Amino acid sequence: MTALFDPLLTSALTLDALSAGLAGHDGIAARQHLRLTRSLDAAMRGSTFYREHLRGVIPGVTPLRNLPTVTRGELMVRFDDWVTDPKLKLGDIRQFIANPRRIGEAYLDKYMIWESSGTSHQPGVFVQDAHAMAVYDALEAVRRSTPRLLHRCFDPMFQTERVAFVGAIGGHFASVASILRLRRINPWMKTSVRCFSIMRATGSLVNELNAFAPTVIVTYPTAALVLADKTTRRSLRVTPQEVWTGGEKLTVSARQRIEHALGCTVRDSYGSSEFFAMGWECARGRMHANTDWMILEPIDEHGRPVPAGQRSHSTLLTNLANHVQPLIRYELGDQLTMSPKRCECGSPLPVIEVEGRTDDLLEMAGRDGQPVILLPLALTTVLEDEAGVFDFQLRQRGLHTLVLLLNMQGPQAADAAARCRTALKRFAAAQGVTLCRIMIELGKPASAGRSGKAQRVVASKVHVRH
């Protein structure tokens, strides 16, 4: 079983990522142009979908802005025509994904498979080839700025670290699959890198983390907030040197609370199943987009370009690294602001501010009225993975009630509602919420949250007394 790793290619790409960082704006633009031409060429030669979709386009000549955009829904219904390797069939891949024991394993000995729901209400399946993985590895190695530079110089391979990933680990999600892949490549990581499930009751998670004593914690901002709270209450007694976050919006106040409680620096990142290593914070705390290997086009609600300095309605992504499942002007859905200014750190890569998911932590009542925190990512994972629903909004009403809005009707909706009720009740009970009423309202679309994007988990204003 291969781990889908090409050391020579990774070394070459790491050197290129280093030199791109010194090459200035023109160096980045030249790389983009060359890589876009190759990506278009590969897409139009190997993908039946793109041959039709891009008819009349001349790679290297037709400007990117003249190319049609594409959505996840359009691509997923034509999956077998979208990919450039005819051996990749969606039906077979779904069987592979159904087996959690194969997370992080190479599919057909040469592909990584990631499943994603994101916030687009449409589950996606993403295939990465060895070249794409080598690009992500190189970007992760070079672009991630460390708060402990000297320590990292002596230990570039993390051999003295104990890394805890705290997240959703039951499916083929990009984060956990990438970590398990790294463990297959680097045998010493079997004991020094561990995955912890956010689906576990918080008490068990805290005990497991205390026993492991991580030096680096990799997690979501909301999960890091819960760990910070447990540290303040002295049940969690770990002393990490770094916390890496991603996947949700990290607010200024959340960052301060996490850094203060855990006593270390937080570094945020931006990634997706469509492009794993989209951005990392520099030493100045600004997020730089890896535009030597991808193109981001912020757009408004009519698909028109949004100038730098203004927040977009959505963003088009063009992945320049992955030729097996091309993404060209793909509607990512993320809202971001491209900064008009260069960063003082000297990087030629543009600074972006990403809105990210802004789901709430839910504080419910447990035994004897003690507060129990339910993580939004755990709740959405329960609904997606166990109940199989994707278009929903979960609203807290008081300390004992959750209202689930499902945008479905008819007999299928009744079945889905029953599955949701069972899955939510089981999860809440496992977390220690002794009395949890689930109310389900069918045919209701989710309303927009604070960011203008539909929030999927919304807290009520009532809080348990601490």
Footprint of Zn ion on this chain (CB under 5 A)? 282, 284, 286, 343, 345, 347
Q: Which is nearer to Zn ion, 53 or 286 (CB)?
A: 286
Q: What is the SS3 assignment for 150?
A: helix
**Cα 340 to the center of its chain, rounded Å:** 26
Q: Which is nearer to Zn ion, 168 or 343 (CB)?
A: 343
CB of 141 to Zn ion, least distance (A): 18
Measured CA to CA, the distance from residue 261 to residue 244 in angstroms comes to: 15
Strand duo 401-406 + 392-397: pairing: antiparallel
Q: Which is nearer to Zn ion, 169 or 352 (CB)?
A: 352
Q: Which is nearer to Zn ion, 107 or 293 (CB)?
A: 293
Q: Which is nearer to Zn ion, 126 or 270 (CB)?
A: 270
CB of 268 to Zn ion, least distance (A): 13
Q: Which is nearer to Zn ion, 205 or 343 (CB)?
A: 343
Q: Write the DSSP assignment of 55-84 as a string of letters.
A: TT--TTTS-GGGSPPB-HHHHHHTHHHHSS
Q: Which is nearer to Zn ion, 283 or 454 (CB)?
A: 283
CB of 279 to Zn ion, least distance (A): 11
Give yes or no for a contact between 276 and 136, defined as CB atoms under 8 angstroms apart: yes
Q: Which is nearer to Zn ion, 317 or 343 (CB)?
A: 343
Residue from 73, 168, 167, 161 nearest 125 by CA:
73
Q: Write the DSSP assignment of 23-38 as a string of letters.
A: SHHHHHHHHHHHHHHH
Measured CA to CA, the distance from residue 284 to residue 261 in angstroms comes to: 21
CB of 463 to Zn ion, least distance (A): 37
Residue from 154, 162, 269, 157 nearest 212 by CA:
162
CB of 346 to Zn ion, least distance (A): 7
Nearest-Å Rg of the Cα atoms of the chain is 22
Tokens in use for 438? 């689930």
SS3 content of the chain, % helix, strand, coil (to 5): 35, 20, 40
CB of 343 to Zn ion, least distance (A): 3
What is the number of other CB atoms lying within 10 angstroms of the CB of residue 263? 13
Residue 226: partners with Cβ closer than 8 Å, 6 or more residues away: 202, 361, 373, 375
Q: Which is nearer to Zn ion, 18 or 345 (CB)?
A: 345
CB of 344 to Zn ion, least distance (A): 7
Q: Which is nearer to Zn ion, 335 or 347 (CB)?
A: 347
Tokens in use for 326? 């091309």
CB of 281 to Zn ion, least distance (A): 8
CB of 345 to Zn ion, least distance (A): 3
Residue 134: partners with Cβ closer than 8 Å, 6 or more residues away: 5, 6, 9, 10, 13
Measured CA to CA, the distance from residue 249 to residue 238 in angstroms comes to: 24
Tokens in use for 340? 């008009």
Residue from 284, 240, 285 nearest 263 by CA:
240
Q: For residue 324, what are the β-bridge partners?
A: none
CB of 283 to Zn ion, least distance (A): 7
Q: Which residue has the tokens 């010194």?
A: 22
Q: Which is nearer to Zn ion, 266 or 364 (CB)?
A: 266
CB of 280 to Zn ion, least distance (A): 10
